Amino acid sequence: MKVLLSGLPRTGKTTLANRLGEIGYTVVKSPTSLLSHEHGAMRTRRAFSLACEEAIHYAHNDKVVFDRTVADVCAFCITLDRLEFGKSTNQIYHVTKVVLEPYAKSRVYVFNMPIEDNDLEDMDRRRLLDNADTYIDVLIDVYRNCGLRPIVLSNAKEVCVSDVENEDF
């Protein structure tokens, strides 16, 4: 089972990914966590590139969990950096769709309610939380337009590890 974890910051995505890692899933870290020293449009561009590379690399791995995906970065571009990226958001959207094709039967969770919100220093995180409703709507649309069916929950505390592997859930 491929598992894609998406949504707002501080919703438990990383904690859930690590719990799945403990039972044998390969954990693919959030592309933005690898770029913590960067901010703004350059960080977004690099995060998109990293997310695409990781999705392509793990496309044939049957037991993988992504802590954020290329869809998250795409939704971020569309929601928050539309002025910066302009017409290239259409290309970003198209690339996202192509990259996610191998994940058509994946379990997708979108979390929309932070468990905690005490990090006011990260400006990108702050911008995302300030535009949470729009971001979540765009993220769900990105997944649906890629042929995926996201399960929308408040946060990862609502997910049991056993439910992730249950095909009927």
Q: Residue 54 and residue 48: Cα distance in Å, rounded? A: 10
- Residue 165 is predicted with a pLDDT of 78
Per-residue pLDDT at 166 exceeds 80: no
What is the strand order of the sheet 150-153 is part of?
Answer: 26-28, 64-67, 2-7, 107-111, 150-153
pLDDT above 70 coverage of the chain, percent: 83
DSSP for 79-136, written as a single string = HH-HHHHTTHHHHHHHHHHHHTGGGTT-EEEEE-S-S-----S-HHHHHHHHTHHHHH
Give the pLDDT confidence score for residue 23 in this predicted structure. Answer: 94
d(CA 67, CA 77): 18
Average pLDDT score over residue span 17-45: 79
For residues 137 and 95, is the Cβ–Cβ distance under 8 A?
no
pLDDT of 126 over the 90 cut = no
Q: For residue 142, what pLDDT is reported? A: 94
Range picked from 9-13, 54-58, 89-93 for highest mean pLDDT:
54-58
Q: What is the pLDDT of residue 167?
A: 63
Between CA 42 and CA 130 the distance in angstroms is: 20
Higher pLDDT, 93 or 86: 93
DSSP state of 151: E
Average pLDDT over residues 141-158: 93
Spatial CA neighbour of 164 closest among 106, 112, 100, 104 = 106
Contact in structure between 139 and 110 (CB atoms under 8 Å): yes
Domains of the chain: 2-165 (3.40.50.300)
Inform me whether the pLDDT recorded for 37 exceeds 90: no
At residue 81 the predicted structure's pLDDT band, cuts being 50, 70 and 90, is low
**Ramachandran area for residue 155 (φ above 0: left; ψ -120 to 50: alpha; else beta):** beta
Secondary structure class of 161 (helix, strand, coil): helix
